[in-house]
Structure 1
Amino acid sequence: MRRRAPPARLRSIEPGPDARHATERHSCATRAHDRRDQRRLRESMGQPAGRSSSRRRSRRGRRLMPLTDLRLYVEALRGLGEIQEIDAPVSLDLELGAVIRRCIETGAPAPLFNVLSDHPGGFRILGAPGGTSAQPGMELVRVAVALELPPTTGGLAIAEAIVASLDRPAIDPVVVDDAPVFENMLTGDAVDLSALPAPLLHYGDGGRYLNTFGCIVARTPDGTWTNWSIARMMVVDAKRLSGIVAPEQHLGMVAQAWADLGRPMPFALALGVEPSVPFICGMPLPAHVNESGRLGALMGRAIRTVRCRTVELDAPASAEILIEGHLHLDELVEEGPMGEFAGYIPLDTPARRPTYRVCAISHRDNAILPVVVAGEPVEENHTAWGLPSAAQLLHDLRQAGIPATAAWIPLQSALHWLVVTVPRDWRRRSGVGESEALCRRIGQVVFASKAGAVIPKVIVLNDDVDPTDLKELVWAFATRCHPLLGHAVFDDIEAAPLLAYLRRSEKASGHTGKIVYNGLAPDEWGEALPMRASFRHGYPADIVDRVRRRWREYGFT
């Protein structure tokens, strides 16, 4: 099929002498901002202003002090070797997206673009803000630091921290009157989205996507529910955006409540917020639960919000860029396609989707726009959406009486797998007698939840397997799942339309088949499991310890 031509290219500015001088001036200004942010970070951690925090101290696991804006997060990552400053001019037209994709796929530090060759300046872009790292033992360092956990915290521990917060009372946000985001503001006829650096991220995208990691704020007409979410938004023209507004998603529910009154929905789009906010926006909480309060419970402090200037909403006060306006469900424009979380740019033609009409744009001086380049794993859809989803599902399973020791969406599965582990005595703990019945019960809980709507395949294993270890997971799935027996099949069930393999009819109906793979031991074995023939499991503990201690003595490094 012939690939659609990309949108009109932005003019590329060659870095001649004048551009180089502009780059040097911009870099000096950027470094001045960075020095101020470094001082703020040290002060927030109780360190003298003239002393830098050591990389070793950060790695040893001291819990970070509150990172209340994106700039403090950048400085925290810089101290851990997770930021790569780029002062060379980079084009918004595909080049920037390609750099970010290469960083994602190699585990390189998050790129911070200081100079954009085809934009007049005043903005920076942070790529891969929630991506994974190639540093040993620190794969999820950006996620951990964003949630103010020690940098070496692993995936299961992060999920358990989120699960624990769900049983704590909400901590509602604190509303402030002003914020740095109002240092610059455009309203009315002066509004022009081209003033913001919206990139063309993939070759084949239907347009330039301004929102890939921002917080969309919406509130029901009666004021009882304020929803924070993430959804892609493409620039249509100087005053309009468009994107997916699915009716079954919370944003679509709130928008429909306004449409039922014959009115457009007020919205705020907060870009470049404090680093924990995207993780709660990506978390599939139940309807009518305010994400801001749940984030307060997770972080142990109230999140600061600020009153918008043209709509009756409060948005995260940490925003680098704030866009205000109204969402019109009845005004449809062409949007997409776009490279998405499954790892593909769909063959679909552009779809007609609702319009966000913008009435105000505000931004900080030298503002930072976070950018996610969705696609093959592992990127922020798989971390900021996948990891909170796993935590919510683990909480749901335990609430349903299933003795799950872990629920994990493998990062490399692009949200298409969920792995659930249970102890060998799961029969006694659950009251369920057969493994097939347990798998069916797990499927009923998972697929009925908002978090499970996107998950088509569940794998159930005993908890001797670490679901975050891809080698163990592949081995266990290959050797423990009978090809025919014990699986729980769900023939016609709700599904997310962006799943990669769906047929057109399934996308149109929003339904497909799903399955729970039974990787538990045969029922005839009872609670017995064969010994694993591995170094960790196949030898007495004293032998394992002795070999580890003498490893260098044997001549290994």
Structure 2
Amino acid sequence: MTIVTATFVARAGPAHYIRRATPVAARRARGTHVSHRVVCRSAVEGGDLEYTDLRDWIATVRELGEVRDVRGADWETEIGRVTEMVHHADDGPAVLFDDIPGYPAGQRILVNAIATQRRLAITLGMPADIERRALMDEFLALTEAGRAIPPRYVKDGSVFENVMTGDAVDVLKFPTPMWHPDDGGRYIGTGCVDVMKDPNSDWVNLGTYRVMIHDSKRVGLYISPGKHGKQFQDAYFKRGEPCPVAIVVGSDPLLFLASTVEVPQGVSEYDWAGGIRGEPYDVVKAPITGLPIPANAEIVLEGFVKPGYTLPEGPFGEWTGYYASGTRAEPVMDVKAIYHRDDPIMLGVPPQKPPWEPHKYREYLRSALLLRDLQNAGVPGVKDAMCFSVGGTRLLVAVSIEQRYAGHARQAGHVAAMCRAGAYLGRYTIVVDDDIDVTDINDVLWAMATRSDPERSLDIIHRAWSGPLDPAIQPGKKGHNSRLIIDACRPWEWRDEFPKAIGPDIETKRETRKKWGWVLDGGSVAPKRNTVLAGAGTKSRAAKTAATALNQPLADDTSME
């Protein structure tokens, strides 16, 4: 077996594009990095993290039948159209594009990676059949500050199998799609992880910021105001210094996920991901900027953003479902080097009208973070929280409580609207009683329609935190928006006189769906007990877990949560 690595030549002069094959045994003898599969146990019994990089992850979910291969789709229109289609499909597969016209076979693009609960669970090292609330609780346990594990620097990595520097740098080497018809250009950075460092400390931040190709050696980097990356960039510019950036196009899904959630101030997403993995995340020092980059990344662009250097960027279809901002002058990154694996795989996560891929997994993760924020703020009796994907997990939120005193519902609503998980670009917060299933938007809207009254049930918060992508705010005034708190609980003063609701409680409904759901799923008879599914004997633990979940006995009384 041979792994291709890179050799760096420290000399001035012509550009270098270098490849060298080195046997694994020789690399081990030198103490350089060799990828190995790590299986780490999560707090959930039986949970395994079965991958170390994007390729491992694809192989793992492929065993579950969750990957579709598409060959021959063009980058100009077809990849974007197929991506939009699968993003809006219920339980849609991960799609791997190959044989893209105009590019060598083997240069691939993966989309819709963690858009389902099963694939999210596998990404987090949990059983594929884990229930929603158990997933949320385990996610919170995995992300406790005490679990953070700093990254481990290694000497080499597969990211250096190919190296481009100087005149050889060519961002157009990769089959970056035109994701939406009216985009201002080709966006290589949608599922990217942008590595930046605070100039005033050792804090390394990973964020996902959109990256547009200007030409073969320049890309535009747009970061929303208030984000950590923007704070770092402004700090460098205030000093009159260029801001170093490493753009990872093709990390494993866990690291991408880490870059898209609210990690506490001062905590590196590398540490956060290491805590979930149960061991340090392997990184290498980028040769030019010194930034830590994933040792097994598929593609990395390394360079600097200079103060005052801008070019027109956008428009770009964004997560609200609109071209919320037009073409504007935005900072430009000069790409000084590109590193990539053989046959690299780009991770594509282009925004779509909600709900799309990140909204589907953030519906679990941001809901969990919101629940923790409410509890940490001392709001009692909070039963559940839901950040609805149809609102981009920000614009529409519901919280259920067991009412304990007058004003309790208002307290929960105001905290949910303005805590860390809910502060940025929120709009509507609905508070309901604990007999309402907040995961069912119809149940939430029913409570709002029948238990609230506009005269007594509404509060408005003025001048809350908004952003440039808010389509409902007039251009030039997008720094602030307002929030509407809707108290859809039974009125505290006469709650005992409020009419009794018909129908079963939440737990009874879930147990009924668990036992008799096959009636709705197209079955004509109840599934047989202990039926063995084809493919249940695969090597992947995740595949075995999923097969077991699908073959639970009809009379299983296990709680849904």
TM-score bracket, normalised by the shorter chain, equals 0.7 to 0.9
Counterpart of 2:314 in structure 1 is 336
1:530/1:180 CA distance change after superposition, 3 Å? farther
Aligned residue for 1:239?
217
SS at match of 1:253: helix
Mapped contact 1:408–1:420 kept (Cα < 8 A): yes
Q: State yes or no: 1:434 paired with 2:407.
A: yes
Match of 1:106 among 89, 94, 111: 89
| 168 and 155 in structure 1: CA distance in 2 versus 1, 3 angstrom threshold | same
Which amino acid in the other structure matches residue 311 of structure 1?
T
**Residue of structure 1 in register with 2:245 after alignment:** 267
- Cα shift at 1:241: 0.8
2:70 to 68, 80, 86: 86
CA–CA separation in structure 1 for the residues paired with 2:152 and 2:390: 37
Taking a change above 3 Å as real, the CA distance of residues 551 and 231 of structure 1, as seen in their structure-2 partners, is: closer
Question: In the superposition, relative to structure 1, how do residues 41 and 483 fare at CA in structure 2: closer, same or farther (>3 Å)?
Answer: farther
Deviates more, 1:493-502 or 1:377-386: 377-386
Deviation, structure 1 residue 535: 4.6
Deviations 1:217-255 (A, max 9, x none): 100123421111001100011111113223311001011
Q: 1:70 aligns with which of 32, 45, 54?
A: 54
Could you tell me which residue of structure 1 aligns to residue 13 of structure 2? none
Distance 1:415 1:497, change over 3 A: farther
> Is the Cα contact below 8 Å between 2:249 and 2:300 reproduced in 1?
yes
Shift of 1:394: 2.1
Name the residue aligned to 1:177. 155
Once residues 541 and 390 of structure 1 are traced to their aligned partners in structure 2, the CA distance between those partners, rounded to angstroms, is 19
Which of residues 207, 213, 216 is equivalent to 1:229? 207
Query: Which of 420, 427, 431 is equivalent to 1:456?
Result: 427
| 1:38-437 correspondence runs (5 A) | 62-87=46-71, 89-107=72-90, 108-132=92-116, 140-169=117-146, 170-346=148-324, 348-383=325-360, 385=362, 387-403=364-380, 404-427=382-405, 433-435=406-408, 437=410
Provide TM-score, normalisation by structure 2: 0.79
Q: Does structure 1 conserve the Cα–Cα contact (< 8 Å) formed by 2:423 and 2:464? A: no
Secondary structure at 2:223 match in 1:
coil
Preserved CA contact (<8 Å) 2:403 2:409: no
Q: CA deviation at 1:405?
A: 2.4
Over 3 Å counting, the alpha-carbon distance change for 1:550 and 1:275 in structure 2 is closer
CA contact (8 A) 1:176 1:305 kept: yes
Q: For 1:351 and 1:549, how far apart are their aligned partners in 2? A: 51
* Deviation at residue 124 of structure 1 after TM alignment: 0.6
3-state SS, counterpart of residue 117 of structure 1: coil
Does residue 524 (structure 1) correspond to residue 524 (structure 2)? The answer is no
Whether contact under 8 Å (2:37, 2:50) holds in the other structure is: no
Question: Identity of paired residues, percent?
Answer: 28
Distance in 1 of aligned mates of 2:75 and 2:154? 34
In structure 2, relative to structure 1, the CA distance for the partners of 1:353 and 1:41 (3 Å cut) is closer
Q: For structure 1, which segment, 382-391 or 177-186, has the greater mean C-alpha deviation from structure 2 after superposition?
A: 382-391
Contact 1:393 1:452 in 2 (8 A): no
- 8 Å Cα contact 1:531-1:537 kept in structure 2: no
Bigger drift between 67-76 and 112-121 goes to 112-121
Aligned residues: 485
Answering whether residue 459 of structure 2 is matched by residue 481 of structure 1, we say no
1:207–1:482 CA distance, 2 compared to 1 (3 A):
same
Query: Aligned to 1:369, what secondary structure does the other structure show?
Result: strand
Shift in CA distance, 528/338, structure 1 to aligned 2, threshold 3 Å: farther
Partner of 1:513: 482
Structure 2 counterpart of 1:471: 442
Q: Which amino acid aligns with 1:63?
A: G
CA shift at 1:393, angstroms? 2.4
**Alpha-carbon distance between aligned partners in 2 of 1:306 and 1:453, rounded to the nearest angstrom:** 33
Q: Measure, in 1, the Cα distance between the counterparts of 2:124 and 2:460.
A: 36
Alpha-carbon RMSD: 3.2
Q: Which amino acid aligns with 2:102?
A: D
SS of corresponding position for 1:243: strand
Whole-angstrom CA distance in 1 between matches of 2:169 and 2:308 = 22
CA distance in 1, matches of 2:240, 2:191: 30
Give the partner amino acid of 1:498: L
Closer, same or farther in 2 for the Cα pair 1:444/1:466, shift >3 Å? closer
- The 1:244/1:450 distance shift into structure 2, 3 A limit, reads farther
1:342-379 deviations in Å (ceiling 9; x for gaps): 11234x43111111111110111111101123112332
CA distance in 1, matches of 2:518, 2:70: 44
Query: Is the CA contact 2:69–2:98 (under 8 Å) kept in the aligned structure 1?
Result: yes
Q: Quote the residue 2:550 is aligned against.
A: none
One-letter amino acid of the counterpart of residue 111, structure 2: G
The alpha carbon displacement at 1:472 in A equals: 2.5
Q: Distance in 2 between matches of 1:220 and 1:253?
A: 8
**Kept in 1: contact 2:224–2:468 (CA 8 A):** no
Please tell me whether the aligned partners of residues 266 and 311 of structure 1 are also in contact (alpha carbons under 8 angstroms): yes
Structure 1 CA distance for aligned equivalents of residues 176 and 132 of structure 2: 32
The answer as to whether partners of 1:326 and 1:357 remain within 8 angstroms in 2 is: yes
SS of residue matched to 1:259: helix
Whole-Å Cα distance in 2 between the matches of residues 97 and 540 of structure 1?
39
Q: What amino acid sits opposite 1:512 in the alignment?
A: N
Amino acid at match of 1:104: H
The 8 Å contact of residues 417 and 483 in structure 2, kept in 1 or not, is answered as no
Partner-residue secondary structure (3-state), 2:222: coil
CA-CA distance at 1:496 after TM superposition: 2.2
Normalising by structure 1, report the TM-score. 0.80
